[in-house]
Amino acid sequence: MLNKKYLFSFLIFFIFLLKINSFTYNAAFDYIKKVYIGKYTKIKDMVIDYEFRAQDVSKDSKKIAAKEEDIPLIGKGKIFYKEPYYLRIETEFVYHSSLEGVILITIKDGEYTVILKNDAPYPLNISKDNRYPLIVNFPFFPLLRYPEVEKILYPVVVGYEQIGTGQEKGKNLVVISFIDTSKMYERYRMYLDPNNYLPAKFIFYPFSKEQTGIEVVYKGISYINDGRPFPTKILIYNFSYDNPNNKKLAWVLYLENISVNVGLSDDLFDTSVREKKPPEDIFIPPQYKQNK
């Protein structure tokens, strides 16, 4: 009799745990679907004007700016997004030791990442799209949809975090952990404001001393062309595997003139010219021809 009673109690407890786990997953998944969207229509495409600051991390530089305004403004340009994973980033470098005055175009089409120079006839670099966001992709990170990545990332609501001062005091952020089921570790963590479905923070964890951790903090709110809120500034910090609490400001992105669902053409994301080779009329010295 005791065994049957114990078995029944265990069964009820197991069903309860199963329901809690199912609810947690569904809640996390529901939150993710609403990031940047909330009560508004689905974002099919987007255009953003942006500027960015970056620390000088060259070997000759010993100065690391602690304040945002002391970090040099490196470049400006446009970012184009189109669902599910298309990105085009046009960057004009206004302050850079080797790229000043240069315009680079980076295109991700879900299969390749291609880097073009505005006055070069062929790509500077072609590589497989590794599904990991570039620094300037972070405004779009929750929107990028790679089917195979979504299959291995298991989102779970792991808690809530209180933030804010004054009238904002007591505001709760939903903390969602993304577990990589192929390797069984936490890939990253998102802190989401459930009132407007804007991310407040992302943390990407390093898994070895060779990797750098990244913390992405979203600031400011702008109301864009269809009335929805959107962050206007993104602060990106780096931290080491050994010292995760020592975060250093590395990048700052400023976002403006944000428009969604404008009907972007597929031609913007065309990477069909993938062969990296010199132009046919390249000059070859006669002595080189003779030697060969």
Return the domain boundaries, the chain.
35-269
Please tell me whether residue 122 adopts helix, strand or coil conformation: coil
Residue 127, pLDDT above cutoff 80: yes
User: 13 or 271, which is more confident?
Assistant: 271
Query: 236, 135 in Cβ contact below 8 A?
Result: yes
For the whole prediction, is pTM greater than 0.75?
yes
Residues 266, 269, 272, 277: is their CA dihedral positive or negative? positive
> Is 67:45 a contact under the CB 8 Å cutoff?
no
8 Å CB contact between 213 and 204: yes
CATH code for the structural domain at 35-269: 2.50.20.10
Contact predicate 215/250, CB 8 Å: no
Q: Write out pLDDT tens, residues 39-72.
A: 999 999 999 999 999 987 655 556 777 788 889 8
Q: Is 277 exposed, middle or buried (0-12, 13-18, 19+ CB in 10 A)?
A: exposed
Please compute the mean of the pLDDT values over residues 204-224 and round it to a whole number: 91
End-to-end CA distance of the chain: 93
pLDDT of residue 208: 85
Token couple for 64 = 């690391």
Q: Taking all residues of the chain, what is their mean pLDDT, rounded to a whole number?
A: 82
Read off the amino acid at residue 55: Q
Q: Which among 124, 76, 135, 85 is positioned nearest to 108, based on CA atoms?
A: 85
| 87, 104 Cβ separation under 8 angstroms | no
More confident site: 130 or 24 = 130
Of 88-102, 109-123, 159-173, 234-248, the least confident = 159-173
